[in-house]
Amino acid sequence: MNAPFPPRAKKRLKIATATLGGCFGCHMSLLDMDERFLDLAKLVDFDRSPLTDLKHCGPCDIGLIEGAVCNAENVHVLREFRAQCRTLIAVGACAINGGLPAQRNPLDLSDLMRKVYCDRVDDTAQIPDDPELPLMLDKVYPIHEIVRIDYLIPGCPPSADALWKFLTDLIEGRTPRLDYAHFRFD
Amino acid sequence: MSEILAQFMLDGHRIAFEPGQTILQAALAAGIYIPHLCAHPEFTPHGSCKLCTVMVNGRNGSACTIKAMPGQDVLSDNPDLNSRRRTLLQMLFAEGNHFCPGCEKSGNCQLQALAYDLEMFDPHFAQFFPAREADGTHPEAFLDFNRCIMCELCVRASRDVDGKNVFAIAGRGRDTHIIVNSPSGKLGDSAFSIHDKAAQVCPVGAILPKEVGFVRPIGERLYDHDTIAEVALREEAGARSGEVT
Amino acid sequence: MASIDSALEPILARYGREPSALLQILRDAQEACDWISPTVRAEVARALDIPATQIDCLTRFYAHLYDEPRGRYRVLFSDNITDRMADAPALMARMLEQFGLEPGEVSPDGLLSIATTSCTGMCDQGPALLVNNRAVTRMTPERIDAISALIRARAPLDDWPSHFFEVHDNIRRADILLGATCASGEAIRAALARGRDGMFAEMKKSNLRGRGGAGFTTAVKWEACRDAPGEARFVICNADEGEPGTFKDRVLLQSYAGRVFEGMAIAGYVTGANKGFLYLRGEYSYLRAPLEAKLAEMRRENLLGDAICGDAGFSFDIMIHMGAGAYICGEETALIESLEGKAGKPRIRPPFPATYGYLGQPTVVNNVETLCKATEIAIQGGAFYAGQGTQQSTGTKILSVSGDCERPGLYEYPFGVSIAQVLEDCGAEDAFAVQIGGAAGNCLAPHEFDRCIAFEDVPTAGAFMVFGQGRDMFETALNFANFFEHESCGFCTPCRVGTAIVARMMNKIDAGHGARYELNELNRLDVLLRTSSHCGLGQSATMALRDMMQKFAPAFERRLSLKDFEPGFDLDAALAEARALTGRDDEAAHLGADS
C-alpha cells in the first residue's frame, strides 16, 4: 500500500497585481472594497503590487493584471507574472480586449507618434529615443494574446463587489461566477 | 378520431403554436426566451446570427426559421447549446471592435445583454481589430461599422419598410460589410432619415441617433437590472396585448 | 467616355437591360474594359435603373470581378493542394520575380498582376493558371518564361500558342457513360417514346441519386418540382464545379455536352419546365463558345426549341450563365441567387428549390453527371440502370483522380468500388492518404482503403486526391483552411468568423507558434462549425481537418512549440516600427523569446 499523503497545512495565499497599459481604475476598484480589503488581507499576502511598491514578483498563487499590452515593458511585466503566478487573471476591459488603449489600433503608429511628438511649433521636436523609454508595439494587444490566461473579470472597471465575489470564490476553491448585477462590460 | 394538436415540446414544456409560426415566435409567445440577435418580430426571418440554434428532433437548426410543427421535440436551454451560443458571441466580439465603455449603446445593447445573460467573460479569440470606418456625415445619426454584427436588420428595414434601400451588404467572408447607397457612399447624402425604421432596428451601436447619447444614466438603462430574456418577453407580451411599450 | 459607352451598349442590349442579368453584364463589361471602373459602375447602374450599391454587392463578392484595376493581363495561379504538390508556388515565385512584383500587386505600367485563385479544375494536368479567365495547363518553368515574354510583348491571348490552352480529357477508365457512343437526339427520342409519365417511372425505378455529393434521389426532386404550383418551371444544370480536386464535369461538358443538354431537356420534359440554365463556373469560360455552338446545333436539329422532335407539347431551351469565382455558388440555393444576378448566398431551406427556386418558381437543380445519367435511363430503362452499382447507390460514378499517382484523370466505376482498387488502377498502390470528396470531404488513411465509393460508405461528388509517401498532411489541412476562409460567403456567424479563426490558428501553427492549446481549439471549432453553420460549406469546412488531426496527428504535433502558449505573431517584429521611428537598436528595444 502506498503511504498516504501527509496532511497539508492550510497556507496563506500570495497575490500580486500590476497595471500595464491602463488607468489604474481596476486597482481603485480593489481599494473600493473598503473594509472588506482588511478581510482580504487576513486571507492573503500581497507580493508585487502598486500597494506594496515591490518591483518584482516572487512565486504567487494569484496574479491580477490590469491594462492592455502596449509596449515592450508591458510584455516583460506580463511574462514575469505568468512565470511566477499559478493562476493569472485578466482584470477589466483593457486586459481582456485591449479596451481604450486599443482604440489606437486602426491608426498608423508613425502618424500617431509624429502627431504627438513632432507637430509642434518648436522645431527641435522629435520622437524621443531614450533607451529608458519602452518602445511601443505596432498594436495594442489583450493580455491573452501574449500569455496564457486562466480567468477574466470583465468591467471598466469591475466593481468592488465583483472583485470581492470573484476573489473570495477563487480563494475558497469555487469556480468564480458573477451574478447579473455585477456582470458588466462598462 | 382526434385532431393533431398544434403543440410541440420545448425543453420539456408543452408549447402551443399558431400555424405558420416559427419555433422562436411560438416560444416567445408562450413566455419562453430563446437567445437571438438577427431575428426581429417585424421582419421575415434571416437565420444568419445562429444564436437561436436549437436541436429539433435531434437535428440542429435555427429556431427563427424553422416552422413549428406538431410533435417536434425541441431542445434549447441546455449547457451544450448555451456553450455554443457563448462561442458564437465571442466570435462576434472578436470580429468587430466592441469597446463597451466608450459606446453610447452600452446598457441598451442586445449583443452585450446576451453576453451578460450567457455569462461570456471575454471574447476569448484573438481580436481581429479590423479597420472599419465611422461616418458622422448625417445630421441626425452616427454610423460606426466597428460595432456591426452583420444582422442586416438595417438592410431589411430600409428595403422592406422604408422603401429606400439605403443599406446593402457587400463583400464576402470576413470582408463582409455594410455599404451605404449614396453618391459619396456616406450616410449624409443618402435618403436616410432618423424617422426611418432602419434608424431604430440596430441591435448594437452601429447606427446611433445623435445628441441623445448617455441620456439614460447607468442604473436606469434597459438591461441594467433586467436580463435580455426578461426584456424580450415583456416586449412580446406588450405587443400581444396591444399596449404601447 | 464615349469608348466606354460604345463598349457597354452592345452588352446591355444583349441582356435586355435586365437587372437579373447583372452578373452576366458585369462579367462581359469587365472583359471589354478590364475592370469595373467607377464609370462602368455608374453607367450600368443608370442603364439598369438600380442602386449602384447593388453593383458593389457583386464586385466585392465574386473573386473574379474587380472594382480596382488589376492590369491588362490578370494571371491567377490555381492554388489547390494538387497544384502546390506539383510545384505551383515555385512557378508563381519565378513569374513574380521576372516582373519584380508581389502577389496581388499591379505592375506600375498597368500591364499585369499575379495572384492565386481557388482550384481551377485542372488537377490532372496541373499546375494550372488562368489568364483573363482562360485556362493554361501543364505549367513548367519554360512555359512560365514563354508566358512572361508574351505578356511583355503585349501579345493578345488569341495569338498565344494554342497548345498552352489545351485541356485534355484523360479518360482512363470508361464504363457505361464515358464508354458509350450515343447518337445525337437518341436519349430525347427515347424519353419522348416513353412519355412523360413513362419516363418518370423509369427514373423512379433507376433509383438514381444526385452526383453532386448529397445523393438526393433525383426522381423525388423531379416529382416535387412537377407537382408544385407555379407559373413556370426551370431546370438548372449545376456546372459550378468548384470543389477542389473535381474536374469530371469539365470533361462531360467538353466531350459529352450533347448528353448533358439532352438530360436537361428530359428533365424539362418530365417536370414541365421549358427553360433551362447551365450555370458554368467562370474558370471554365473556354468551354462557353463550344457549348453555345452545341446548343445552336441542337436547335437546328430540333432537339431544343419549340415542338422538340415534332412533339407540339414539348418546348425547351437552354441558356448558359457564367459564374465569376465563388465556390459557394455550387450550393444550389446560392447558385439560384447568383442566377438571379445577386451575390451567391445560400437561402433558408425549406422551402427547397423544387417548390421555390429560380424567381420563386419550382426548379430542378441537378449536377452535370446526374443529367447525363438521365439520358442513360431514357435509353436503357430504369431497371437496367438499377442493376449496376450497389443497392443503395445504383449506376456508375465518375472519379476525378489527381495527386501522387501515375495516371491522373477520369475513372468511371460502378458504385461499390474499393479505394484500393482505384489506387491500383491509377498507379498509386503505395498511397499515404486519400482525400475523397474534395476539401469538403473525408481524408482516409491506408487502414481504410478497403472502404467503398458509395453513398452508404464513402460518398463523393468525384474528387479523389492521392497523397504519396512523404507528403505532409498538415500542408493539405492548411491549404484547405485558407481555402474555406477565402470562400465562406460571410452570411452566418459560425462560418464567417469560424473559418477565419481556423485559418489563423493553422497559420499560427505553421509559423511554429502553435501549442496544444490551438489543437484543442481547432477541435472545438470543428464541432461548432459542423453543428451551427447555415449551409453545407460551413458544416463541412473542418471535416478534412478533423480527419487529418486524428489520422495524421504527428504532422500537427511536430510543428507545435514546446511552450504551453505563444503569441500568434512575432513580438520583436511588432517593435520594428517604433525602433525605426526612434532610431534605437539597444537591448531594451528588442523582445526576445519568453524563457
Is C489 buried (19+), middle (13-18) or exposed (0-12) by CB count in 10 A?
buried
CB C536 within 8 A of CB C494: no
A180 and B CB contact within 8 Å: yes
The model's confidence at residue C213, banded by pLDDT at 50, 70 and 90, is: confident
pLDDT in tens, C388-403: 999 999 999 999 999 9
pLDDT of residue A11: 79
Q: Which of residues 151-210 of B touch C (CB under 8 A)?
A: 165, 168-176, 179-181
CB B52 within 8 A of CB B36: yes
Of C423, C463, C422, C421, the residue nearest C442 (C-alpha):
C463
Query: Quick one: fold of C473-557?
Result: de novo design (two linked rop proteins) (1.20.1440)
| Interchain pair A75, C591: CB under 8 A | yes
CB C426 within 8 A of CB C401: yes
> In this complex, which of B98, B123, B129 lies closest to A105 when CB atoms are compared?
B129
Residue type for position C243 = E
Contacts of B231 (CB under 8 A, 6+ apart): B113, B222, B223
| Interchain pair B47, C348: CB under 8 A | yes
Chains near A with 3+ CB pairs less than 8 A apart are B, C
pLDDT of residue B244: 45
What average pLDDT score do residues C535-547 get?
97
Cα distances (Å, whole numbers) of residue C575 to A98, C505, C514: 17, 22, 21
State yes or no: pLDDT of B245 exceeds 60. no
Instruction: Classify strands C73-78 and C112-117 as parallel, antiparallel or unpaired.
Output: parallel
3-state secondary structure of C280: strand
CB B131 within 8 A of CB A106: yes
pLDDT in tens, B27-71: 999 999 999 999 999 999 999 999 999 999 999 999 999 999 999
Query: Mind telling me how many Å the CA of B234 is from chain C's nearest CA?
Result: 27
Mean per-residue pLDDT of chain A: 93
pLDDT of residue A3: 74
pLDDT in tens, A87-100: 999 999 999 999 99
| Interchain pair C564, A148: CB under 8 A | yes
Count the neighbouring beta carbons within 10 Å of the beta carbon of residue C184: 16
pLDDT of residue B239: 84
Residue whose C-alpha cell reads 412533339 in the numeric block: C311
pLDDT of residue B101: 94
Helix H segments across chain B? 23-29, 79-95, 110-117, 153-156, 222-225, 228-240
pLDDT in tens, B152-206: 999 999 999 999 999 999 999 999 999 999 999 999 999 999 999 999 999 999 9
B82 and C CB contact within 8 Å: no
Count the neighbouring beta carbons within 10 Å of the beta carbon of residue C553: 12
State yes or no: pLDDT of C547 exceeds 80. yes
| All domains in chain B, ordered by first residue | 7-82+228-240 (3.10.20.740), 100-225 (3.30.70.20)
Is B218 buried (19+), middle (13-18) or exposed (0-12) by CB count in 10 A?
exposed
CA distance C198 to C226: 14
Show me where the domains of chain A are located.
13-102+139-178
pLDDT in tens, A30-67: 999 999 989 998 889 999 999 899 989 999 999 999 99
Q: Which of residues 135-164 of A touch C (CB under 8 A)?
A: 135-139, 141, 145-148
pLDDT in tens, C33-70: 999 999 999 999 999 999 999 999 999 999 999 999 99
Q: Which residue has the higher pLDDT, C541 or C563?
A: C541
Q: Say what the alpha-carbon torsion angle C385, C387, C393, C398 is, to the nearest 10 degrees.
A: -60
> In this complex, which of C573, C581, C590 lies closest to A127 when CB atoms are compared?
C581
Q: Which residue has the higher pLDDT, C81 or C214?
A: C81
CA distance B89 to B112: 9
Chain B residue with minimal CA distance to C491? B48
| Interchain pair C53, B174: CB under 8 A | no
β-partners of residue C135 are C130
Mean per-residue pLDDT of chain C: 96
pLDDT of residue C182: 87
pLDDT in tens, C115-150: 999 999 999 999 999 999 999 999 999 999 999 999
pLDDT of residue C326: 96
H or E stretch at A170: helix A160-172
pLDDT in tens, B221-244: 999 999 999 999 999 998 888 654
pLDDT of residue C582: 94
The model's confidence at residue C595, banded by pLDDT at 50, 70 and 90, is: low
β-partners of residue C453 are C458
pLDDT of residue A120: 74
Query: Mind telling me how many Å the CA of A101 is from chain B's nearest CA?
Result: 10
> Count of residues for chain C?
595
Phi first, then psi, for residue C419 (nearest 5°) are: -60, -40
Class at the top of the CATH hierarchy for domain C396-467: alpha beta
> In this complex, which of B112, B119, B124 lies closest to A185 when CB atoms are compared?
B112
pLDDT of residue A60: 96
pLDDT of residue C3: 73
CA distance C312 to C295: 20
A21 and B CB contact within 8 Å: no
CA distance B185 to B182: 5
- Cα B163 to chain centroid distance, Å, stands at 21
β-partners of residue C414 are C396
Query: Mind telling me how many Å the CA of B174 is from chain C's nearest CA?
Result: 6
The CA-based angle A165-A170-A173, given to 5 degrees, is 125
> In this complex, which of A131, A137, A148 lies closest to C586 when CB atoms are compared?
A131
pLDDT in tens, A123-136: 778 899 999 999 99
ipTM of the complex: 0.96
Q: Say what the alpha-carbon torsion angle C336, C337, C343, C348 is, to the nearest 10 degrees.
A: -110
Cα distances (Å, whole numbers) of residue A182 to A38, A155, A172, C310: 21, 8, 19, 79
Q: Three cell numbers at C261? A: 443538354
pLDDT of residue B2: 55
The model's confidence at residue C101, banded by pLDDT at 50, 70 and 90, is: very high
C355 and B CB contact within 8 Å: no
Select C73-168's CATH number: 3.40.30.10, 3.40.50.1820, 3.40.50.1240, 3.40.50.2300. 3.40.30.10
State yes or no: pLDDT of A4 exceeds 80. no
CA distance C1 to B233: 58
β-partners of residue C444 are C434
H or E stretch at B134: strand B134-135
H or E stretch at A30: helix A25-31
Select A13-102+139-178's CATH number: 3.40.50.700, 3.50.30.30, 3.30.1450.10, 3.20.20.300. 3.40.50.700
State yes or no: pLDDT of C200 exceeds 60. yes
pLDDT of residue B183: 92
A110 and C CB contact within 8 Å: yes
> In this complex, which of C57, C60, C493 lies closest to B50 when CB atoms are compared?
C493
Show me where the domains of chain C are located.
2-59, 73-168, 173-386, 396-467, 473-557
Select C173-386's CATH number: 3.40.50.11540, 3.40.50.970, 3.40.190.10, 3.30.930.10. 3.40.50.11540
- From edge to edge, which strands make up the β-sheet containing C396-403? C171-173, C409-414, C396-403, C463-467, C433-436, C442-444
Q: Which of C488, C493, C523, C524 to mutate to test the interface with B (most CBs of B within 10 A)?
A: C493
Q: Which residues of C436-447 are buried (b: 16+ CB within 10 A; e: fewer)?
A: bbbbbbbbbbee
A118 and C CB contact within 8 Å: no
pLDDT of residue C1: 45
